[in-house]
Amino acid sequence: MSEVGTNGEATNALIATFESVIHELAKPVAQLQLAVIAVVVIAAMFVARSVKRRFSGMSTWSRLVRAAAWPLAALMMMMFARAAFQLAGYRGTELGIASQLAFAMCVLRLIEVALRQFFFRSTWLKGAERYIAISVWAVVALDLVGVLPELIAWLDSLSMHVGKQQVSLWMLINGALSVAGTLVVALWIAGMIEDRLMASPNMDSSIQAVLSRVSRALLVFVGVLIAMSLVGLDLTTLSVFSGALAFGIGFGMQKIAANYIAGFIILLDRSIRIGNMISVGADRGEVQQITTRYTVLRAPTGINVIVPNETLIGSVVQNETFADKNVWIGIPVQVGYGCDVERAMQVLVECAAAGGERVLKDPAPVAHLLAFADHGINLQLGVWIFDPLQGNLGIKSNINREIWRRFREEGIEIPFPQREVRVVGAPVESVPVSVVAQAGAA
């Protein structure tokens, strides 16, 4: 039988099914039941509103009650209405279908709340839960009316050839649903694995991050392959796609691929970890997040710097907390040539205590004479701190203030550039006024 004939038969069957449904709904008894259903739906809305006011808490029980209030109230009212129609001698077919739909809506609402509470944590998945529930409810409604089998047959008749594979519209829809379902399951399993990894106290944070990302990627890939197998697609057709993907990576996605590979290298070799204070180029900050493409640094000014992972691999990175969190800070000071240098160095060491508890006593603060400059003698006070993540500007400020105060008490001069202007030639009084006026006019 030709494809055109199969498509025509499926279309005629679908049209005949719709016509039978419309003919059934055109009967007076069916229209009366539809009116009763409309009244019941409106009455259930008012009942559900009052129930939601009483159960306004955030507990799981309150959420379940609020979710099932409207469909459950509609279900109970429809069951009473159907019983009344049956006592009057009518079958109440439409009320029976509406009762089943209300029951399906109640079950879907409860499942939605349960999944949101216990399983699904992704933001996009939370927003899609309601649409998924409505779609499933619509499929159940079509099945109860009797249109779903004919609709599936009509969608299956709309086919086309893609290479050696014959693909129908129903196959595409079924494939999309299968892929979506397997992805949801894969993401759920990946979330559980990630929770178990993050809860492990004996595992390094970098290893936890790389294992969670690898497991998520593998589960998503396996889920897509399983979904394609369930639909009936030939997996050998992916060879063309994989070749095109490799070609694209080789030419147009080199930077992206390099950043991802560099991200896995950083996570595996643990040269940079979350919480380290690093400097790369002109940027310095604490590592807040390491992803497979970039690393986020929080500068002491509060600015978040996003550094591509390729930059961290190919550049010199200063890690201040790689093996030891103790960091040395140098505070330069210049004194005059006429002061007592030994006393000035001793005062500098005493002023290190102004840095507070953050300044380490072992190694002890040390003062050094660096050079004999043009205007004075360059000294430097060196101190060690144990928490570079808190910054060093406050320590430098406190120590400099103490140095200024102690130097004034000790009479130690801090020189500054001074200039003398000497006038060579005749005194100003001997210069004629006319010459001065001409010079000013010029």
In the chain, % helix, strand, coil (3-state, to 5) comes to 65, 15, 20
User: 416 with 375: CB under 8 angstroms?
Assistant: yes
**Tokens standing for 37?**
């259903």
At residue 130, the 3 state secondary structure works out as helix
Residue-level pLDDT at 380: 92
d(CA 87, CA 85): 5
d(CA 387, CA 31): 78
User: 307 with 272: CB under 8 angstroms?
Assistant: no
The vertex-138 CA angle with 132 and 139, nearest 5°, equals 95
The DSSP secondary structure of 157-185, one letter per residue, reads H-EEEETTEEEEHHHHHHHHHHHHHHHHH
d(CA 365, CA 260): 44
Residue-level pLDDT at 25: 61
User: 297 with 285: CB under 8 angstroms?
Assistant: yes
pLDDT in tens, the chain (442 residues): 445 555 566 566 656 666 666 666 667 777 777 788 788 888 888 888 888 778 777 666 777 777 778 788 888 888 888 788 778 777 777 777 777 777 777 777 777 776 665 555 555 555 556 666 667 767 766 666 666 666 667 666 666 666 566 666 667 777 777 777 777 777 777 777 777 777 777 666 666 777 777 777 788 778 777 776 766 666 565 666 666 666 666 666 677 777 778 887 887 777 888 888 888 888 888 888 888 788 899 887 788 888 988 888 888 888 877 777 788 888 999 998 888 889 999 999 989 888 888 888 888 899 999 999 888 899 999 998 887 777 778 888 999 999 999 999 888 888 877 777 777 765 656 556 665 566 555 5
Residue-level pLDDT at 55: 77
pTM of the entire structure?
0.42
| Residue 110: other Cβ atoms inside 10 A | 16
Backbone angles phi, psi at 123, to 5 degrees: -65, -45
Round to the nearest angstrom and report the end-to-end CA distance of the chain.
109
DSSP-assigned letter for residue 320: T
Q: Pick 327-410's CATH classification: 3.10.310.30, 3.40.50.720, 3.30.70.100, 3.40.630.30.
A: 3.30.70.100
- DSSP-assigned beta bridge partners for residue 295: 290, 307
Whose tokens are 């949101």? That residue is 116
Burial class of residue 322, CB neighbours in 10 A (0-12, 13-18, 19+): middle
Residue-level pLDDT at 400: 92
Domain extents for the chain? Answer: 3-157, 266-319, 327-410
Whose tokens are 């290190």? That residue is 352
Residue-level pLDDT at 233: 61
Q: Pick 266-319's CATH classification: 3.40.640.10, 2.30.30.60, 2.30.40.10, 1.25.40.390.
A: 2.30.30.60
d(CA 9, CA 84): 41
Whose tokens are 């955030």? That residue is 58
- DSSP-assigned beta bridge partners for residue 285: 278
d(CA 364, CA 342): 17
What angle do helix axes 238-251 and 254-269 make, rounded to 10 degrees? 90
Residue 363 preceded by cis peptide, ω within 30: yes
Residue-level pLDDT at 100: 77
